[in-house]
Amino acid sequence: MRIITKTLLVFLLITLPLGVNSQTIMNRDTRIAEAVNGISVVNQRAVVQDLVGFHNRNNLSSKTDPAKGVGAAAEYLYQKVTSYIPQSSGRLSVEKVYYKVGGPDTRLKREITLANVVATIQGSDKTDNRVIAVLAHYDSRNGDETDSVAYAPGANDDGSGIACLAEMARLISKTDIPITVKLMFLSGEEHGLYGATHMAALAKQENWNLIAVINNDMIGNSNASETNTETNTIIRVFSENIPVVETEEMKRIRVYNSAENDSYARQLARYIKETGERYVDNMTVKLIYRSDRFGRSGDHTPFSRQGFAAVRMCEVNENYDRTHQYIREENGIKYGDEIWAIDFEYVRKNTGVNLATVMNLALAPSVPENVKLITSGLTNYVNIIWEAPKQGKKPDAYYVLIRETDQPDWQKKILVRDTQAKLPYSKDNYFFAVQSVDEAGHESLASFAYGSR
């Protein structure tokens, strides 16, 4: 009986929405499922409560007061994550990365020194230098970005994202994973993405093999202002269409392949959808085909500008009465970003989407290399060739991903043991990509098959 229950848990058959005549096999890795089930709402609420307790985390607030301000918040996060070092068997290290920013002519009006708190969980495979980064910002603001005195709780923006990273630090550091994960608790966001800009430049300068950047900014509010819509079953993932760093050569290849919907960031977003929905029940990951909201940006943006695959996770309903507002009540409406408005069940599920994605990606082999769609010859079969990744563990097999050209997401996954595939699908009517996969089913990001004669 026990065995049957366990098997059922691992192989959950879940039917697709009405109108689709097939079932999707949700093959859950026990280790990832256990980590996702271990996310604690109690812990996450405590983190947001503690952050709110620093009263105002404006970048211009005190760096030395032990009880209030952005400096006290940095020290709190540093200590919090450091407390997980003993359980990590030497894998976890934590540092404060300081940087100078601002000046008389900037939004900050003067030069200040800020700190990013960076937790690094070292991968165990020395032959694999891939890195995954997950971001959130701990600075806050109220109705005036220059006000470093009045209450600015920032419970949702971005206490919710910080609570996600804090639990990921606790859960990932106690398990062995092959590649390195960096959890970046960033400052400087509200005055111009300074903390992320510093880290993205560092990653570029030090030539990190950064394969995925996931920014979590506002993932705990489920109620929309004005329309009063309530949703804690959908999370948005924003990803860029055409890379902001696109060169003339990249443009030529994109146009030739009609690949405007297949940037690296878009493949990462699709991966988050597939993996997040596999491990988190009652959750839909909504792909938004935009870099970010109109007139807004987030800490993923500086990473996109450095050419990395970077996306933003954000709640589906935003509440503008609670974002960047002074605490007050007017005409029966409560303004301000306070903890009472956080939906911690929503934070927990969104953390699960992040955790499942990072662990699945960390356990997977590297992407296949030189994936090519052979365009020569008039044939109704598609020919795709690729090479095994040169670093890390060797894939057990590959998935060829297929979708029709008017479809937003991959529709079929075909397992292939060779490093080539000849399939009865017209190359003109479909898009193709290839993923590496290990024996346990952990798949890499998708590498789009670009046409080559």
- Interface with Zn ion (CB under 5 A): 157-158, 217
| Residue 257 or 323 having the CB closest to Zn ion | 323
Closest alpha carbon to 195 in 280, 101, 288: 101
Q: Please give the structure tokens belonging to residue 441.
A: 């089913």
Is residue 364 within 8 Å of residue 423, measured between CB atoms?
A: no
Strand partners, 329: 334
Which CB, 217 or 240, lies closer to Zn ion?
217
Q: On the CB side of 87, how many CA atoms lie within 13 Å of its CA?
A: 11
Would you list the DSSP string of 317-346? Answer: S--TTSSS--SEEETTEEES--GGG--HHH
How near is the Cβ of 141 to Zn ion at its closest, in Å? 9
> Judged by CB, which is closer to Zn ion: 157, or 262?
157
Give min distance, CB of 36 to Zn ion, in A.
25
Q: Which pair of tokens denotes residue 379?
A: 């044939």
- Least separation in angstroms between residue 262's CB and Zn ion is 28
Residue 138 C-beta: closest distance to Zn ion, Å? 10
Residues 277, 332: Cα–Cα separation, whole Å: 38
Give the DSSP H/E element, type plus range, for residue 49. helix 41-52
- Closest by Cα among 164, 182, 172 to 97: 182
Kind of pairing between the strands at 369-374 and 420-423: unpaired
Alpha-carbon gap, residue 178 to 363, rounded angstroms? 6
Least Å from the CB of residue 186 to Zn ion: 10
Which is nearest to 287 in space by CA: 266, 261, 258?
266
Helices (DSSP H) in 183-263: which residue ranges? Answer: 194-205, 248-257
Of 128 and 337, nearer to Zn ion (C-beta) is 337
* Closer Cβ to Zn ion, 44 or 187, answer by number: 187
Name the residue nearer to Zn ion (CB basis): 335 or 430: 335
Smallest distance from Zn ion to CB 6, Å: 41
Q: Do 269 and 251 form a contact (C-beta atoms < 8 A)?
A: no
Which is closer to Zn ion, CB of 274 or CB of 318?
318
Q: How far is the CB of 137 from Zn ion (least distance, A)?
A: 6
- Please report how close the Cβ of residue 220 comes to Zn ion at its closest, in angstroms: 11
Q: Which is nearer to Zn ion, 298 or 395 (CB)?
A: 298
